């Protein structure tokens, strides 16, 4: 669902980097962060011709020059080959990193990125998230304890690293600049802290910090229990915000992420592949799954359709057809998620889904083999 409005912290008018831009570049930045199709990762399609029609006298050529200026100032990252644009510090400045459910939606949005260049930039932003500021106390949900907010956010970041895989240095030389072994702690680059602590405010964009080595990420963890209701980001930080449009909930609304996200299903699919698919294929697959979830398709129907799709080896664009076939074929009793193994011992829940995917894929493969 498209966003109804964007969020602009009033501290943007005290940010030295933003004030160093000319008025046209500032307006363009505000234009970008208020786009209805901006996702939780800060990703936009690069559509120069469409954007140039949003102001009288603006041309695609002039718009491209303005975008290049914003990229040079490191407010955004672009890839003309994949026609994608990333607002570098969106996850931090919009408060996405504070809310586990919205962070899960961010990972789903990030899986739509095709550009390795943009993927690297986003991972560098994950390095700069101040996890130590998040609560490490167990969450309470329906009387039971769950993982802390910090643990949930960390799990989402690890899942993103695993999904992106090994990102080798950018051969084009467009990789991030790493002038020091640790991220910059200048006022413009330090995440916002409360006024009572005397901390500097967050920048409206992120200068790339140093890339730090990480051990291989663990497999994505099960979706954690919903965190307790949290205050709005601006309220928690005692920060004033300017609402650009006020006809819908802001992009960080806790209800934005579905119970089962595209991230979850894509992660399951990648785990079942003999070899990791190309990033472009993962991105296209994620887009198809997200559309199906947005249409209200049951996640288990999508899983069964993906099993059929895997067996045929078709392009990601064919996924909806296989899901439709799975929905109407009803291969097992409605509502049942129990699969009988050769030993006679049934599996349920997540284990059943795993067994079902493998069993269905093998069955379809055998049916497709010549006699």
Predicted confidence at residue 370, as pLDDT, reads: 54
Domain check: are 243 and 350 in the same one?
no
Domain check: are 99 and 24 in the same one?
yes
* Residues 323-357: tens digit of each pLDDT: 998 888 755 554 455 444 445 555 555 555 556 66
Domain check: are 120 and 241 in the same one?
yes
**Number of compact structural domains in the chain:** 2
Domain check: are 135 and 34 in the same one?
yes
Q: Is residue 288 part of a domain?
A: yes
Q: Is residue 206 part of a domain?
A: no
DSSP character string of 132-195: GGS--SPEEETTEEE--HHHHHHHHHHHHHHHH------TTS-SPP--SSS---SGGGSPP--G
Whether 206 shows a pLDDT value over 90: the answer reads no
Domain check: are 304 and 237 in the same one?
no
Listed in order, strand segments (DSSP E) in 223-333 are 241-243
Domain check: are 111 and 252 in the same one?
yes
Domain check: are 267 and 252 in the same one?
no
Q: Is residue 219 part of a domain?
A: no
Q: Is residue 223 part of a domain?
A: no
Range of the domain at 58: 7-166+231-256
The confidence band for 24, taking pLDDT boundaries of 50, 70 and 90, is very high
Q: Is residue 190 part of a domain?
A: no
Q: Collapsing DSSP states into helix, strand and coil, what is residue 242?
A: strand
Q: Is residue 284 part of a domain?
A: yes
Domain check: are 270 and 129 in the same one?
no
- pTM over 0.75? The answer is no
Whether 63 shows a pLDDT value over 80: the answer reads yes
Spatial separation of the C-alpha atoms in residues 114 and 134, rounded to whole Å = 30
Domain check: are 245 and 343 in the same one?
no
Q: Is residue 199 part of a domain?
A: no
Domain check: are 288 and 355 in the same one?
yes
Q: Is 81 exposed, middle or buried (0-12, 13-18, 19+ CB in 10 A)?
A: exposed
Nearest to 313 by CA among 350, 275, 287: 275
- Mean pLDDT across the stretch 252-273? 66
Task: Copy the structure tokens of residue 183.
Answer: 């991220």
Whether 18 shows a pLDDT value over 80: the answer reads yes
Q: Is residue 217 part of a domain?
A: no
Domain check: are 67 and 106 in the same one?
yes
Spatial separation of the C-alpha atoms in residues 96 and 256, rounded to whole Å = 11
Task: Copy the structure tokens of residue 123.
Answer: 């991972």
Domain check: are 244 and 273 in the same one?
no
Q: Which is higher by pLDDT, 300 or 4?
A: 300
Task: Copy the structure tokens of residue 158.
Answer: 């690890």
């Amino acid at each position: 669902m498209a966003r109804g409005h964007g969020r602009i912290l009033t501290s943007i008018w005290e940010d030295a980097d933003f004030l160093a831009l000319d008025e046209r570049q500032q307006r363009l930045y505000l234009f970008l962060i208020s786009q209805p199709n901006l996702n939780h990762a800060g990703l936009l399609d690069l559509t120069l011709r469409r954007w140039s029609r949003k102001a009288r006298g603006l041309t695609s050529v002039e718009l491209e020059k303005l975008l290049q200026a914003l990229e040079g100032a490191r407010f955004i990252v672009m890839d003309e080959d994949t026609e994608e644009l990333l607002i570098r510090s969106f996850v931090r400045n919009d408060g996405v990193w504070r809310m586990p459910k919205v962070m899960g939606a961010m990972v789903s949005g990030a899986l739509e990125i095709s550009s390795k260049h943009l993927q690297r930039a986003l991972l560098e932003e994950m390095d700069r998230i101040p996890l130590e500021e998040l609560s490490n106390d167990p969450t309470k949900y329906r009387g039971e304890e769950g993982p802390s907010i910090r643990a949930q956010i960390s799990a989402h970041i690890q899942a993103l690293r695993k999904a992106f895989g090994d990102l080798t240095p950018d051969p084009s030389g467009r990789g991030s600049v790493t002038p020091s072994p640790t991220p910059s702690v200048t006022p413009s680059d330090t995440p916002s802290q409360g006024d009572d602590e005397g901390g500097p405010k967050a920048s409206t964009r992120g200068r790339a910090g140093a890339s730090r080595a990480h051990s291989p990420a663990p497999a994505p963890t099960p979706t954690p229990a919903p965190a307790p209701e949290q205050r709005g980001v601006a309220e928690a930080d005692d920060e004033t915000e300017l609402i650009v449009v006020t006809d819908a909930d802001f992009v960080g609304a806790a209800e934005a992420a579905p119970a089962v996200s595209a991230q979850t299903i894509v992660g399951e699919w990648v785990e079942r592949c003999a070899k990791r698919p190309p990033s472009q294929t993962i991105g296209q697959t994620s887009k198809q799954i997200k559309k199906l979830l947005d249409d209200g398709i049951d996640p288990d129907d999508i899983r069964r359709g993906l099993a059929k799709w895997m067996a045929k080896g078709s392009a990601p664009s064919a996924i909806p057809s296989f899901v439709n076939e799975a929905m109407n074929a009803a291969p097992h009793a409605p509502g049942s998620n129990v699969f009988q193994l050769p030993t006679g011992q049934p599996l349920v829940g997540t284990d059943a889904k795993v067994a079902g995917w493998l069993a269905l894929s093998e069955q379809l493969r055998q049916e497709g083999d010549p006699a």
